[in-house]
Amino acid sequence: MYILRSHHYHNKSKSLCRSKKEKKCQDIIICKKKVVQVTCPPQNIIVKVLKGPTGANGVAGVAGATGATGSTPTTFTKAILFGGANTGFQRVSGSPGALSQTIPFVDAANGNIVGFSGSINTNNLPVGSYLYQICFDVINNAVTPLVNNIISTITLMTTAVITGTIIFSIRPSDIGSQPVRVSNNAPYVLAPATVTWTSNIVGDPVIRNDAISLFLNMNVTQSAVYSVFISSDI
């Protein structure tokens, strides 16, 4: 706020006084190209600078530097595929015909079994408990695995006869039973079945050069594919 002598600026202003006898007046003057409102008592002029409208926002600044690259993963997960067979050991995908106790999958690194899934096409699968046992180092002519050979057990339990394509998946970290789905000439729906995981060896570990095989306690169908998921450092 500026206090100025009135006689210095009256010649630059437009008076708004109603009469010469009025003791106060308001003038509008130009001050450095700005419009200002002036209130002038008899001897002084009080100048108030009026604010103009806010200007437009400035342009956005340049993007910051790219952050550091994250660490390289140390574990990787891969799927071992087994084709369906009758009761007993299932067949490693790609095997010329022998079952997985005779031609097993050979693990190339230390790691853990982290998942199992099944895709089965069957007609009138009976009610029952179907046990899939993931095994290591089974004798090559064994009919069943020894207890010490079983790493993990996956239990598929059906409560009614099922026809169609059955699908399911399970992880050792899952809590409780997991749902099973089926499609029989219609979209997939929940099947009258559940699947659960049991870790026969804590942590479901595998070691480099383990001979991995899959055993099924009851006949399901040969029209099936099973996947065993192993996480390791390669």
Question: Any idea where the domains of the chain sit in the sequence?
Answer: 2-49, 76-232
Backbone angles phi, psi at 159, to 5 degrees: -115, 0
Contact 46, 36 (CB under 8 A): no
Q: Report the C-alpha gap between 210 and 191 in whole angstroms.
A: 35
Residue 11 predicted with pLDDT over 80: no
Lookup: tokens for 198: 């049991």
| Residue 1 pLDDT level (bands cut at 50, 70, 90) | very low
Chain mean position to CA 38: 66
Comparing CA positions, the residue from 117, 119, 130 lying closest to residue 157 is 130
d(CA 154, CA 79): 16
What proportion of the chain, given as a percentage, has pLDDT over 70?
79
pLDDT higher than threshold 60 for residue 45: no
For the chain, how big is the Rg over CA atoms in Å?
42
CA distance 214 to 42: 107
More confident residue, 192 or 73: 192
Structure tokens at 215: 């055993």
- pLDDT > 90? residue 9: no
pTM over 0.85: no
Q: Using an 8 Å Cβ cutoff, are 107 and 209 in contact?
A: yes
Residue 53's pLDDT is 86
Q: Which two three-digit tokens encode residue 172?
A: 């050792």
Give the span between the Cα atoms of 110 and 53, in whole angstroms. 70
User: For position 12, what pLDDT does the model report?
Assistant: 46
Q: Are 230 and 77 in contact (CB under 8 A)?
A: yes
CATH class in words for 76-232: mainly beta
Terminal-residue alpha carbon distance, the chain: 77
For residue 213, count other CB atoms closer than 10 A to its CB.
Answer: 29
pLDDT at residue number 3: 42
Q: Which helix (H) or strand (E) holds 2?
A: strand 2-5
Which helix (H) or strand (E) is 9 found in, with range?
A: helix 6-9
What does the mean pLDDT of the chain come to? 85
Calpha distance 118→18 (Å, rounded): 98
